[in-house]
Chains A and B, each alone.
Chain A
Amino acid sequence: MSTTTAAPPAPERPLPTPTRESQPYWDGMREHKFMLQHCASCGKVRHYPRPVCPHCFSMESSFKEAPLGGTIHAWTVCHHPFNFFFKAQAPYIVALVDMDAGVRVNAQLRGVAEKDLKIGQRVTLAFEPVNKDVTLPFFTAA
């Protein structure tokens, strides 16, 4: 019987599984571009990506690059790692941001102290490659 124990496998990072609707968003992330879906008929932006425009019911759409600025709408500071992958990062701030492009983005906010957080604060979206296929958004102070 072996007396050594194998090291436990490293916890896996949860990764997005792009859909046919969301693929252009994730392709954009990989190229460090914030791509948002716009209705080809009425022009309204929608996020997260979906097949039909809920305003005019058009199924035609295109993705356009959007600006990276926004303001904080709300936040939480995650202390308990509900997934073991995030244990090393905790506590981490997740900011919900009203993007200037007219949608919201939830992403980690780095480089800002918890005590300095306030609604309306300006932040900028940045890009963090996590593997060759996936790049995730995060925020920094503007």
Chain B
Amino acid sequence: MAHELREKAAISGIGETAYTRGTPKSGLALQLEASLAAIADAGLSPRDIDGVIPYFPGGGIAEDFIANLGLPDLTLSAFIPMGGATCVAALQTAAMAVATGVCKNVLISVGRTGYSGARVSTRLQQFPQFALANEFEAPIGMFAPAQLYAQGARRHMQLYGTSARHFAEVAVVTRQHAILNGNVVMNKPLTVEEHHASRMISDPFRLFDCSLESDGGAAVIVSATDRAKSLRKPLVTVMGVAEGHPESPASIAQRPDLLEFGLVKAAARGYAMAGVGPKDMDVAEIYDCFTFTVINQLEILGFCKKGEGGPFVMDGRIALGGELPVNTHGGLLSQGHVVGLNHVIELTRQLRGEAGKAQVKDAEMGLVTGYGDMGDGSVAILRRAA
């Protein structure tokens, strides 16, 4: 029997601001600007929004949305504190809310001044999930995700022979895709040589292995599928969605296998709910806080075997026109860092046929992942249903 939630929810609206480095706007203003764009894209009025899941911490809370958008009767206000896994995990909460009738239209949104406001090492100090890292790892000089995730990447290289050349391929292909998009921070071509010559941040991660610190906002609207059918845009349904939490969730150091995290559990549940597998995907938007993170997740998602992610990304396989186009918008590495909500937006565009020069021909089904908070994972499988 099909999972009760399969295709009961749809992405009915998407919106984003310009992605920049530098803005006079607040994170809240960016979040609201993107939210209004998503509401308009769906053909709805702000008055129709009755659920909000804002990215937290940072940006607005339910009170801000009521005050600014005049929401008359909010029936759901939730935070999903999963770092980079938040946005895709929020799709699960939103899907449950609209499928059960608790909400009609749920707004998921992010507003971030990651360039002009507080930088990553400062922001993370505020996360309660980082308390153990702050106590045991910051004093010895480990603060930032680039450092905390680097040890897993190094281990993968030592065990499987994964190399900087593989990392570079992810960076270069992602940049090629970004250039086709237009609304991106990084709009000039990147070569393998430039990647290798970029300064070392935390070995094995060089500058061009790391995602951007940028400013911008993004939002999506989730509605019940029956309702979304009568809205403005082609119907894109949520076939499967799941979140997963790893062993030792607040410390990568104490995790038995550094290369297995919440996505292992989420992927199994997400595929089962959707009733499909990796071979059914026409396109994949993979959370790319680091180049290596894409390689690691492609393995976990079953696109290749454990340890084979490096060779898998080579020879144009993840580029447009390849077997599995990945991060067709430029991702966090080249488009902008709005905690992966831009990945959900891009997948929706691909399935609507609105992806412009980066359109994957006849894309009917794809997946999007979230990864963050030292190992939380989330995945959604979306389908063009109209």
Contact = CB atoms under 8 A, between A and B. Distances in A.
Interface of A: 13-19, 22, 47-48, 73-80, 82-83, 86, 89, 91-92, 94, 96, 103-108, 114, 118-119, 130, 134, 136-138
Contact of B143 (A14, A48, A91): A14
A77 B200 contact: yes
A82 B203 contact: no
Question: Taking chain B's interface residues, is the majority helix, strand, or loop, or is none over half, making it mixed?
Answer: helix
Contact of B151 (A96, A107, A114): A96
B144 A96 contact: no
Contacts, number: 105
Interface stretch (B2-10, B41-49, B131-139, B373-381): B131-139
B146 interface: yes
Interface in B337-362: none
Interface stretch (B11-19, B110-118, B250-258): B250-258
A82 B171 CA distance: 22
19 contacts: A16-B134, A16-B135, A16-B139, A17-B134, A17-B135, A22-B135, A73-B151, A74-B151, A74-B155, A76-B203, A76-B204, A78-B141, A82-B121, A82-B144, A83-B121, A83-B141, A106-B136, A134-B139, A138-B140
B5 to A, nearest CB: 30
A83 B202 contact: no
Contact of A94 (B120, B140, B251): B140
A80 B141 contact: no
Interface size class of B (residues with CB under 8 A): 20 to 34
Given A16-B135, A79-B199, A80-B201, A107 B251 contact: no
Given A75-B154, A119-B158, A107 B254 contact: no
A106 B142 contact: yes
A74 B154 contact: yes
Contacts of B155: 73-74, 119
Nearest to A107: B140
B150 interface: yes
Nearest to A18: B135
A14 B143 CA distance: 10
Contacts of B152: 74
Given A16-B134, A94-B140, 15 more contacts: A13-B139, A14-B138, A16-B135, A16-B136, A17-B134, A18-B135, A19-B135, A48-B251, A48-B254, A77-B200, A78-B142, A79-B200, A83-B138, A83-B141, A119-B155
Contacts of B254: 47-48, 103-104
A82 B139 contact: no
B154 A108 contact: no
Interface of B: 120-121, 132, 134-144, 146-147, 150-152, 154-155, 158-159, 199-204, 251, 253-254, 258
A35 B230 CA distance: 64
A96 B253 contact: yes
Given A76-B147, A118-B158, A94 B135 contact: no
B137 A82 contact: no
Contacts of B141: 78, 83, 86, 89, 92, 94, 108
Contacts of B159: 119
Contacts of A108: 140-141
A16 B139 CA distance: 6
Contacts of B154: 74-76
A104 B249 CA distance: 15
A134 B144 CA distance: 22
A106 B140 contact: yes
Nearest to A92: B141
A96 B136 CA distance: 12
Nearest to A78: B202
B151 A82 contact: no
A79 B253 contact: no
Contact of A83 (B143, B146, B200): B143
A89 B141 CA distance: 9
A80 B158 contact: no
The 5 closest A-B pairs by CB, nearest first: A76-B150, A77-B203, A74-B151, A82-B121, A74-B155
Contacts of A80: 146, 199-202
Contacts of A105: 253
B135 A76 contact: no
A96 B203 CA distance: 14
Contact of B253 (A16, A104, A119): A104
A47 B143 CA distance: 19
Contacts of A13: 139
A72 B185 CA distance: 39
A100 to B, nearest CB: 16
